[in-house]
Chain A
């Protein structure tokens, strides 16, 4: 044991994925945005996107794969502690956007401002129901993982159902956006549309990230590899996204 410890010390731990991912992110977001919107050059923007998107994706896959193999014994269940800390930062992001919404709304002379069509009521209610249901299903997945460590069947099924629900939510959101845009209500229309699209869009991007995290748990699970703390952390994130939706839906649709 002692001998092993000494041998362990002499080789420095390395991973190529952090650097690769950061380069991927640089190309994917800042460079693509700047070439497209600032320099109006869709050609170069497509190239940077073409470099950034695959690099980001490959890096994430490599990262997760490496994490599952866990050569250096990194996985010690810290993610269950880290996720709530991260959620604090995420919550502050939403608070920033909500602050903007409240500040502009409470000082507006008339509300809703000119150019706002009748807002849909049914779809957001369905979306709410779907997201609440998905929070329950991920909880079921987690429970299955805890109680029956041997069989992954129950866990997998509940996780897949959660992913389907999340994807349906996004689909409905996209449908609703396109309906509103047909009515001439887009991000540029007025101060309400500014907040409406930024809040729903920002929340939607979190749903997408949540689905990405689930995919990182699901794909290795097919091969029989499950990292319990990771699933737990993913579940915490998903519940957070669900809770935020209550704020979004109550503030921008039903107020």
Chain B
């Protein structure tokens, strides 16, 4: 046995490109998702830096061409959401964790899984063409008609980027829902699933129901622009409002596609580093997670309060939007309750969790006035909104992604990372995002600075604050570089990781080596009656 095991390890350590690009193993597919999504994060982050530098002073700073600025804006939004957040969460983490956590040897359809990741990569390739074509899209990530239909920019590129990544998501959803339903190891019953598994299921249910609607919306956009149909053509009986409805009918639930797996990762980290059971498990699962799913489809109207929808609908949407605080509140209470009387250990992943608590709190609280239509119409289209959604879905989710990557790192790479570097990266990131997005909200709500503007000659009094915001964004960049350095450092000089460095009770830590071999578990997993992934203190 030990001879075979050591042979397995030597065979694994030999790097073979063929085994990576043609892989059907869920862990390697996961790593491909990780690389692809962080590549998108990197390029979209560069766009953010360019935009912030442009806004550091009044008048042309980096470019004198507003269309170039629009292209950055387009790429930043589209790549951050479709290329980074969704694939990192429902691609990387899902692939890495789900089969391990349910004791399966792989997913239900390993080749479909590999197809999903490569389709996503093709989407990234298509998105990157933005930088080489003469007519880059300039339609934000929202692509509202009529502008997107009449612009000289390449709307088809946007359409197909969305379609490729969207189809990749649907294939992933079919695959993982089947996997979770069919492939749980004996003894892993529904109420003993990791919270992350529930979050993944919920996210994929949302994807399956709503992604097709986005696919339809962007398809109609290109049909209108290139084939001459009239879906959004008001002169022929179509309506641009149709697009806004279809688009947000997906894109609001997309926020939960991002939020739920992120909060799932946070739950795993909190339970492990508090050595504590999940507080109110059933409330979290059936109320928090599935409650969010149920509400997700009836709130999208709050994105189009000012787009001429009827008043009675605005009122209903205000109420349904505020209702979202109930399931989200259950999720947060579950987190706090899990910390309660736990034996908390502040390793790097846990620091990111602490960051998540703070950032999500700010993001959530600033969302409440936005939900109320009477307040919203006054702050619509200002930098306040930009600051708010960066807090709630950009940076708080990024703390989950980076913290979660640190958490899974020893299992994935078989190497430990350097705690000091990990903590330094977090500190810089945390300080940077707060400087950046606090003041972004401030100039929006106090001075009425509009979002998406290339220049702001009419607001000379905020040039100083704009410089502070830009300075903050450079600190974020520095933090991201430290994170990257800590990972490279770990890959080269990291100590060998034990199988369960965190002392977790979850299957992926207790039942297999770091990193797990092909097939995940050397023997088929079977858990006992009293097993629980959060069974601490037994």
A residues in contact (CB < 8 Å) with B: 5-6, 8-19, 21-23, 25-26, 29-30, 33-34, 37-38, 63, 66-67, 72, 74, 76, 78-79, 81-82, 85-86, 88-90, 92-93, 95-97, 99-100, 103-104, 107-108, 113, 187-188, 190-191, 194, 197-198
Contact = CB atoms under 8 A, between A and B. Distances in A.
Contacts of A74: 109-111
A213 B434 CA distance: 53
Given A22-B115, A26-B122, A187-B229, A93 B109 contact: no
Contacts of B517: 9-10
B160 A92 contact: no
Given A19-B114, A34-B160, A191-B230, A88 B11 contact: no
Main secondary structure of the interface of A (DSSP, over half): helix
Interface in B246-264: 246
A192 to B, nearest CB: 9
Closest 4 CB pairs of A and B: A96-B216, A30-B160, A22-B118, A18-B114
Contacts of B21: 19
B5 to A, nearest CB: 8
Contacts of B164: 25-26, 30
Contact of A21 (B115, B135, B211, B227): B115
Contact of A18 (B115, B163, B208, B230): B115
B230 A92 contact: no
Contacts of A95: 212-213
Given A17-B111, A25-B119, A88 B208 contact: yes
A89 B170 contact: yes
A8 B520 CA distance: 11
B317 to A, nearest CB: 17
B25 interface: yes
A14 B230 CA distance: 46
A74 to B, nearest CB: 6
Chain B's interface: helix, strand, loop or mixed, by majority? helix
Given A81-B178, A97-B216, 6 more contacts: A12-B16, A15-B22, A96-B217, A99-B242, A100-B246, A104-B237
Contacts of A72: 24, 110
Given A13-B24, A78-B108, A104-B239, A188 B227 contact: yes
B215 A113 contact: no
A88 B81 CA distance: 24
Interface in B71-123: 106, 108-112, 114-115, 117-119, 121-122
A96 B108 CA distance: 29
B223 interface: yes
B8 A9 contact: yes
Contact of B238 (A9, A38, A104): A104
Contact of A85 (B12, B163, B178, B211): B178
Contacts of B523: 5
A10 B11 contact: yes
